[in-house]
Structure 1
Amino acid sequence: MNYLISIVGLIVVLGLAWIASNNRKEIKIRPIIQMLILQVILTFLLLNTKFGLILIKGIAAGFEKLLDFANEGINFVFGGLANEGQAPFFLTALLPIVFISVLIGILQHIKVLPFIMKWLGWVISKVNGMGKLESYNGVASAIVGQSEVFITVKKQLGQLSPQRLYTLSASAMSTVSMSIVGAYMTMIEPRYVVTAIVINLFGGFIIASIINPYTVTEEEDLLVVQSEKQSFFEMLGEYILDGFKVVIIVAAMLIGFVALMAGVNTLFDMIFGISFQEIMGYVFAPFAILMGIPVSESVTAGGIMATKLITNEFVAMLSLNELASNLSERSIGIISVFLVSFANFSSIGIISGAVKGLHEQQGNVVARFGLKLLYGATLVSVLSAIIVSFIL
């Protein structure tokens, strides 16, 4: 029965993408099928094999060690701030982002990351049927982040058609940056974080291939990666400050959104006898069911999904932890994968702002298709959750 629901869910998601397609005749079926099969294989390897278990344990252990290193700096500055036995979310989950941001900067500076992103993107371009730029951008988005990735390709921004710009923006919104992966791993199981990062990459290409199909000519299929010349210590200072800005922005958004959600829930409860989150749970419940969530748990899951879309994934992960006792292990795994992406309303402003800062006209183009961008990125999250439901 679970397989049947997952198959129906897959058909519905691809159908919703097809309805929004701007050129259905251009849709290339073969690369889409290849990527769907690859998603299932990778998910099985990561979640159901000894190799996957060893790999994820290794990655989780690596991030745990990085968090330990980060805590050395955090304890030096904030030592004694927390009471014995307490672990404030700001200190344990958010501040380590600063250290991981520095590591990314170092790997960028010594040309390790550009090399990995370029050649991994080239390999993926042979599978997805897209251009080198699109494939590179998908990999780069998952490493450096949804706004920073555009800096690496800023020389080409002004020459891109709206179709190619949509695909680049969709990849950025469908993935998450490595700098905050450690924070996610303190909130949900690392195996779901790693799995979501891998399959979201291909899910972004699948949905973009349906909603926004086009063909890149050999003349257009160029990849010009921008590399800023900085001294090592200039780079360190920049990435330290960038990481801290991310921490402050995420913390501020959490304070605002969590407080707002609590206020709105209370207001709705007083007026209607049901919280806003529960109402949205009913709206999203059908999608939760299509993702393989049991009907009895679908409203709870739908509320968490809605929270992610309206606020952000951090608020939704906190909500998942609060409501985990009402959900089965399988449902928690499916929802966890759904939550690992930047698909929410605030990302429209972040991405269009990032592009506008580099090229004003192209930033306006991104803003105009912002809702369609969010629509596609949300379908990517649902698709990844459905793929995982086949395996769990």
Structure 2
Amino acid sequence: MAVVLSVKQTGEDNLGFESHELSNGHPEATNEDLEYGNSCSRGVYFIQQSVYGAYKKNKNTVWIGIYIFLTLLYFLYFGYAMYYELDGEPSWRLLICTILAVILIVLNILWYVYDEQITNAYKKIVGSKTGSDGCSKAALIIGVTIFIVVYVIVDVAIDYPQNLIAVVGQALYIILFYIFSTNPAKVRWHPVFWGFALQYVFAIIILRWYYGYQAFKWLGDRVAEFLAYADEGAKFLFGDVFEEHFFAFKVLSIVVFFYSFISMMYYLGVMQALIRVIAYHILNTEAPLLIKPFLSEMTKSELHAVMTGGFATIAGSVLGAFMSFGKQKSPKLAVKIFTAWKNHRNIVEAASAGATSSIKMVAGIAVNVLAFLSILKMVNATLTWFGERAGVEGVTFQFICSYVLYPVAFFMGTETVDCRKVAELIGIKTFINEFVAYLSLSEIIANKVKLANYTTFYNETGDWFWDKGNIILKQTNETLNGGILSEKSTVIATYALCGFSNIGSMGILLGGLGALAPSKRGVLPKIVVRAVVSGTVACFLTACIAGLLFKDY
């Protein structure tokens, strides 16, 4: 005979019970049954409260023990895995990731224990004004300058003298921006120098050092492998042919997946640990959300710097979408992940909240691409109509940009034959948006693959020809719209387009920063145009370095 009992809280430690109908249909329980049930329930409740009380008193110790136990279990697995097989990429991946994770955990523990001491030491080093430190800084600057100059002469000027045009481009941008700056006398050359120096160092490691290039290529392959998991959700929702609607179902699905994953990483504390170790000294400038308390106190120049940083970089979720357009050899050097961490009750809620928060981003991307592609088509039809009235054919927005922005593409080191095409892409990115530009670039990348397959299959490299910027394949009567770009020009275009700086983004950034700092709404519109120009040229300067140090393996 089973009795269903419900517990009524009558006080902090007193329980009341009421009986319900028996499971076998009898209307009530006997006194003996109730006494037995009361005794068992009180016993269970007492045990629960005792265990919970002990847990609350020793919560930290319990979790430290759990973490230690899980860590030991992992290292037992790791040791056996290394013993079982230490050959091939998967084993090396496990080894490298484990080493990096251990380093990350140790550094965060040290930072947690000695946070104040490390912060004070850092401030002393950075803010030191003593003569000896000044001499050390000057010597370091001179040493880095000599290294970069010698490297460029030996490794670029001798083997790839045509790449030096990118140095001229860098010099032109710096001179022009210095002349037209609000107050040239207040330009701080120290951060300018180190900004370029760091870019050169990273570029040398990635583009000219074989092992550095292979390491970042491996990392890019792993990221592409990770993002491909989004296909499973897209396939379930939209069917096996979801890639036929590439942008809507393939690209935007990656954004949703990435948001959800990052939200989980924030819940687990992984992102905070990573950011703290890698960029502790720039944590407050990582995203406007993180510097919200300081925005209202910032000067106009400081707000300009924040806006320029926003225009010159992209979000991590957007990077994932860009990678789906076509895998590139050169990874992005600066990525801004703007998803803010929130306090979630568990990891499932974090994943769900991350996916839900992507709705606005996905909708914004979708409607903007739809709108701007339609507007571009309308503008091109209008320009073509006006051109034909004067006897000129083929006048389009891209055609105009290909001439107006030709010098921009040329001084980044783009191959001469590709300058007009890269100038078109820059124009689309600046006046439309970066998504439309990357869509066009992805088509050009795909064209190169199609042309290679075509010439291999027919074994006749001369069986195709150019026609008004497009390639015609004679055997298959197929047109490759937009033609192709050289590998060098493709890499330069990838960097030049990789930013949030376009006309439409001005409204987005004004709205976002205006909401975070209402007191600055009158100032922001006055500097937004200069900020978008600065962000655009920041991307161009990165492309210049890529053009200077590019080496086709």
- Provide, for residues 135-157 of structure 1, a one-character-per-residue CA deviation record: whole Å limited to 9, x for no partner: 3355x3xxxxxxxx322222222
Counterpart-to-counterpart distance in 2, 1:11 and 1:117 = 33
Decide which of 283, 308, 311 is 1:136's aligned counterpart.
283
Q: Which runs of 5+ in 2 are unaligned?
A: 1-160, 388-392, 446-482
Verify: 1:51 aligned to 2:211, yes or no: yes
- Provide, for residues 208-233 of structure 1, a one-character-per-residue CA deviation record: whole Å limited to 9, x for no partner: xxxxxxxxxxxxxxxxxx96544335
Counterpart-to-counterpart distance in 2, 1:56 and 1:315 = 26
Decide which of 313, 328, 332 is 2:490's aligned counterpart.
332
Structure 1 moving runs of 4+ over 4 Å: none
* Larger CA deviation: 155-164 vs 303-312: 155-164
- Provide, for residues 89-145 of structure 1, a one-character-per-residue CA deviation record: whole Å limited to 9, x for no partner: 2222221111111111122223332333344334xxxxxxxxx5xx3355x3xxxxx
Decide which of 368, 371, 374 is 1:253's aligned counterpart.
368
Match of 2:543 in 1: 385
Asked whether the 8 Å contact 1:137–1:171 carries over to 2, the reply is no
Inter-CA distance 247–227: structure 2 relative to 1 (3 Å threshold): closer
Deviation at 1:26, TM superposition (A): 2.5
Match of 2:345 in 1: 231
Match of 1:345 in 2: 503
Opposite residue 283 of structure 2, the aligned amino acid is: Y
Counterpart-to-counterpart distance in 1, 2:230 and 2:422 = 33
Inter-CA distance 15–315: structure 2 relative to 1 (3 Å threshold): same
Verify: 1:20 aligned to 2:20, yes or no: no
Verify: 1:156 aligned to 2:303, yes or no: no
Partner of 1:342: helix, strand, or coil?
coil
- Provide, for residues 226-282 of structure 1, a one-character-per-residue CA deviation record: whole Å limited to 9, x for no partner: 965443355433321222321221111111111211221122122212112111221
Q: TM-score, normalised by structure 2?
A: 0.58
The answer to which structure, 1 or 2, has the higher relative contact order (CA under 8 A, 6+ apart) is 1
Partner of 1:165: helix, strand, or coil?
helix
Inter-CA distance 190–380: structure 2 relative to 1 (3 Å threshold): same
Opposite residue 12 of structure 1, the aligned amino acid is: L
Counterpart-to-counterpart distance in 2, 1:263 and 1:162 = 38
Once the two structures are superposed, the pairs formed by residues 226-305 of structure 1 within 5 Å of their partners are 228-232=342-346, 233-272=348-387, 273=393, 274-305=395-426
Inter-CA distance 381–77: structure 2 relative to 1 (3 Å threshold): same
RMSD value over aligned CA atoms? 2.4
Aligned residues: 344
* Larger CA deviation: 249-258 vs 15-24: 15-24
Counterpart-to-counterpart distance in 2, 1:163 and 1:341 = 21
Percent sequence identity over matched residues? 24
Opposite residue 265 of structure 2, the aligned amino acid is: L
Asked whether the 8 Å contact 1:104–1:179 carries over to 2, the reply is no
Partner of 1:22: helix, strand, or coil?
coil
Decide which of 314, 318, 325 is 1:180's aligned counterpart.
318
Counterpart-to-counterpart distance in 2, 1:251 and 1:263 = 18
Partner of 1:43: helix, strand, or coil?
helix
Asked whether the 8 Å contact 1:196–1:337 carries over to 2, the reply is no
Verify: 1:197 aligned to 2:334, yes or no: yes
Verify: 1:169 aligned to 2:307, yes or no: yes
Counterpart-to-counterpart distance in 1, 2:421 and 2:274 = 40
Q: TM-score, normalised by structure 1?
A: 0.80
Counterpart-to-counterpart distance in 2, 1:59 and 1:246 = 26
Decide which of 209, 226, 236 is 1:76's aligned counterpart.
236
Inter-CA distance 55–367: structure 2 relative to 1 (3 Å threshold): farther
Q: Which runs of 5+ in 1 are unaligned?
A: 123-131, 141-148, 202-225
Match of 1:144 in 2: none
Verify: 1:311 aligned to 2:432, yes or no: yes
Match of 2:171 in 1: 11
Asked whether the 8 Å contact 2:267–2:342 carries over to 1, the reply is no
Bigger fraction of residues in helix? 1
Deviation at 1:20, TM superposition (A): 3.1
Deviation at 1:384, TM superposition (A): 0.7
Match of 1:31 in 2: 191
Partner of 1:88: helix, strand, or coil?
helix
- Provide, for residues 277-296 of structure 1, a one-character-per-residue CA deviation record: whole Å limited to 9, x for no partner: 11122111111111112333
Counterpart-to-counterpart distance in 2, 1:260 and 1:230 = 41
